[in-house]
A and B are shown apart, each in its own frame.
Chain A
Amino acid sequence: MDENAGHRLKRSLLKAGHLIGLFLAMAIICLPGFWIVLSSLRPTVEIMAKPPVWIPNEISFDAYVAMFSGVGQGGIPVLEYFRNSVIISVTSTVIALAVGMAGGYAFARYRFRGKTAIFLGFMLTRTVPGIALSLPLFFVYAKLGIIDTHFGMILAYVALNVPFTVWLIDGFFRQVPRDLAEAAQIDGCTRWQAFWQVEFPLARPGIASAGIFAFLISWNEFALASQLTRSTNSKTLPVGLLDYTAEFTIDWRGMCALAVVMIIPALTLTFIVQKHLVSGLTSGAVKG
């Protein structure tokens, strides 16, 4: 009897410990983001207050209104940065997807010599640190006169994204059984038709998540953008965020609001694709 009670006690203690651990881990993950959102909604006086004010007395959207009404607080043209970010990220994603689909299909469906070597070579181009790549790119772009243009940034981001889209899409095409396309071809489809009508629809959710992955990389990239952009012509949001720290007094609330604006699209998109993302990366890499 006594042993039984002891065992039960131990079990419930373990369970409580597990719950507490889980709660703490989740709290640490969520807290920084939560704090930023909260700070963007409260008046600057409260952020600066000593002793600290924990619970906001009033909530206001002033920071956001100021940011989107022309030249924002601290003279930062957030609207232009936002526009640049959207144009550059979306265009480079679409192109990287098209290139990645061609490459991924080739890796998944054809056998050829040096396949692993080529694949590894693609991945190695991705390991080049952005800042090391930015030096020669800066020089080349300056010669070609495409520094501080959308075209230059899009080109750079397509190259940045192609290795990942190839990897992911390769994984998704592998999950589509080869027999399906072959059956379609026997029924009279050309290979092109079989691809678009059989294999593509099946791999579509995966391809969509590869697209979102690529979008996030372009949306969040900083090292290259900080050197290859100069003005509101092409500066993106991550570079714009740095504008705030260049000044002597930091407008914390404005920065927090900008941070929230940057994170919301990323957040929404990732929620949509989280399921496919992991299965794509694992099946591409593990099944090899």
Chain B
Amino acid sequence: MRGWKPAPHVLLLLPAFIVLAAVVVVPLMLSLYSSFTPFRLTRPDSIYTFIGFRNYERLLTDKDFWIAFGRTVLLLTFALNLEMVLGLLLALLVEKASRGQRILRTIMMFPMMFSPILVGFQFKFMFNDNIGLVNNALQSLGLTDRAIPWLIDGQLAFISILIAEIWSSTAVFAIFILAGLMAMPREPLEAAKVDGCTPLQSFRYVTWPFVMPFAFIAMTIRSLDIARAYDIVKIMTDGGPAGRTEILWKLIARTAYSDARMGLANAMGYIAILLSILFTLLFFRQLAKARQQVGAEW
């Protein structure tokens, strides 16, 4: 035996490992380390001072941080649930259509092609209190005579962001649920009908269990990318008015680059990363449970 020859799968996976290690893992180690220092961009030596968990301790008592954290979780909960329900409805509507399914499916994918920053911009434009489409329409229809400050009032801004978020991501759910509906065999449904199920019952006990894994794929894909809300918020309100729509990722960016407190921001970043990982693991496990069903013929 001359020389050690690695197994082929090791060789094949090596490039992926190297790239991910270089760009993701090693920098993340660095950020983990710097979250234990009072590192500021303006004072580079401060990275060598070790202060233990003080950044994290400070975060625990930081009201702004917890408000932003709570707001982020609230936004995600609302957005994911509404996207799921609306996606299901949309998929059912399209599946029922007897003609023009191809075109409908294509239109349905439309929002997925928009970059989050574009989604933010277009809703910023539509929700503009002065020239926006929404206010113009409401005023022309005579529903209101004053301009509603969609992006200026704290609560309305949150709702506007939620709408933008839902508009952009409902498609993901709709498409995967539709793929599931189309892959579903007809016989169980007919059997349920023969056995005297109401449409609601046959949906609940036949259709939904079959479609579930597809909904979980959509959830997993979506949860890989939950931080995309950053782009939308950044361009729509930039965290304003007066920090009322500041979400976790926006707060990180502000602490790191505007306040130049990298150490603290990295500590926040770690909390954000754990949040994302939690979301993904949650759905991935559900997916693994629901994996028995077969893939779709789209």
Does A88 interact with chain B (Cβ within 8 Å)?
A: no
User: Is the pair A223, B110 in contact by a Cβ cutoff of 8 Å?
Assistant: no
With A29-B107, A123-B284 as known contacts, state yes or no: A131 contacts B298, CB within 8 Å: no
Q: Closest approach, in angstroms, between the C-beta of B160 and any C-beta of chain A?
A: 13
- Which of A129, A140, A275 contacts B272, CB < 8 Å? A129
Does B200 interact with chain A (Cβ within 8 Å)?
A: no
Does A63 interact with chain B (Cβ within 8 Å)?
A: no
Q: Please, what's the 1-or-0 string for B113-136, where 1 marks a CB less than 8 Å from any CB in chain A?
A: 111111001111110001101001
User: Is the pair A52, B140 in contact by a Cβ cutoff of 8 Å?
Assistant: yes
Q: Closest approach, in angstroms, between the C-beta of A190 and any C-beta of chain B?
A: 12
Bound-state CA distance A166–B20 (Å) is 12
User: Is the pair A128, B28 in contact by a Cβ cutoff of 8 Å?
Assistant: yes
- Which of B19, B273, B293 contacts A128, CB < 8 Å? B273
Closest to B105 in A: A274
Bound-state CA distance A103–B11 (Å) is 9
Bound-state CA distance A230–B294 (Å) is 48
Bound-state CA distance A285–B133 (Å) is 40
Bound-state CA distance A281–B220 (Å) is 11
With A166-B16, A286-B294 as known contacts, state yes or no: A132 contacts B273, CB within 8 Å: yes
User: Is the pair B125, A33 in contact by a Cβ cutoff of 8 Å?
Assistant: no
User: Is the pair A287, B295 in contact by a Cβ cutoff of 8 Å?
Assistant: yes
Does A6 interact with chain B (Cβ within 8 Å)?
A: no
Bound-state CA distance A118–B187 (Å) is 39
Bound-state CA distance A256–B106 (Å) is 23
Does B80 interact with chain A (Cβ within 8 Å)?
A: no
Q: Which residues of A contact B30 (CB under 8 A)?
A: 136, 139-140
Q: Which residues of A contact B284 (CB under 8 A)?
A: 120, 123
Q: Which residues of A contact B221 (CB under 8 A)?
A: 281
Closest to A219 in B: B115
Within 8 A of B (CB), among A88-114: 98-100, 102-103, 105-106, 110, 112
Main SS at interface, chain A: helix
- Which of A223, A270, A283 contacts B227, CB < 8 Å? A223
Does B13 interact with chain A (Cβ within 8 Å)?
A: yes
Does A155 interact with chain B (Cβ within 8 Å)?
A: yes
User: Is the pair A136, B115 in contact by a Cβ cutoff of 8 Å?
Assistant: no
Within 8 A of B (CB), among A192-217: 216
Does A227 interact with chain B (Cβ within 8 Å)?
A: yes
In this complex, how many residues of chain A approach chain B with their Cβ under 8 Å: the count is 89
With A132-B31, A223-B231 as known contacts, state yes or no: A155 contacts B23, CB within 8 Å: yes
Bound-state CA distance A203–B29 (Å) is 37
Q: Please, what's the 1-or-0 string for A112-133, where 1 marks a CB less than 8 Å from any CB in chain B?
A: 1000001010111111111111
Bound-state CA distance A18–B95 (Å) is 11
Bound-state CA distance A106–B6 (Å) is 13
Does B74 interact with chain A (Cβ within 8 Å)?
A: no
Q: Which residues of A contact B121 (CB under 8 A)?
A: 241, 255, 259
Does B175 interact with chain A (Cβ within 8 Å)?
A: yes
With A51-B139, A131-B252 as known contacts, state yes or no: A22 contacts B93, CB within 8 Å: yes
Does A278 interact with chain B (Cβ within 8 Å)?
A: yes
- Which of A36, A131, A226 contacts B122, CB < 8 Å? A36
Q: Which residues of B contact A76 (CB under 8 A)?
A: none
Bound-state CA distance A22–B91 (Å) is 10
User: Is the pair A132, B13 in contact by a Cβ cutoff of 8 Å?
Assistant: no
Bound-state CA distance A106–B265 (Å) is 38
With A132-B252, A159-B19, A220-B116 as known contacts, state yes or no: A123 contacts B280, CB within 8 Å: yes
Does B85 interact with chain A (Cβ within 8 Å)?
A: no
User: Is the pair A26, B107 in contact by a Cβ cutoff of 8 Å?
Assistant: yes
Q: Which residues of B contact A285 (CB under 8 A)?
A: 217, 220, 287
Q: Closest approach, in angstroms, between the C-beta of A110 and any C-beta of chain B?
A: 4
Q: Which residues of B contact A176 (CB under 8 A)?
A: none
Bound-state CA distance A132–B280 (Å) is 16
User: Is the pair A105, B122 in contact by a Cβ cutoff of 8 Å?
Assistant: no
User: Is the pair B176, A282 in contact by a Cβ cutoff of 8 Å?
Assistant: yes
A–B Cβ pairs within 8 angstroms, 24 of them = A31-B133, A102-B13, A106-B13, A112-B9, A118-B13, A127-B277, A128-B273, A129-B230, A129-B276, A131-B249, A134-B253, A136-B31, A137-B27, A140-B27, A159-B19, A227-B253, A259-B118, A267-B113, A270-B109, A282-B176, A283-B295, A286-B296, A287-B295, A288-B291
A25-B89, A241-B118 known, 17 other contacts, Cβ within 8 Å: A29-B107, A102-B12, A110-B12, A125-B24, A127-B277, A129-B272, A132-B249, A132-B272, A137-B27, A140-B30, A238-B115, A262-B115, A266-B114, A279-B179, A285-B217, A285-B220, A285-B287
Which 4 pairs from chain A and chain B are nearest by CB?
A220-B115, A129-B227, A159-B23, A132-B269
Give me the interface of A with B, judged by CB distance under 8 Å.
Answer: 18, 21-22, 25-26, 28-33, 35-36, 39, 47-48, 50-52, 54, 98-100, 102-103, 105-106, 110, 112, 118, 120, 122-137, 139-140, 155-156, 158-159, 162-163, 166, 216, 219-223, 226-227, 238, 241-242, 245, 252, 255-256, 259, 262-263, 266-267, 270-271, 274-275, 278-279, 281-283, 285-288
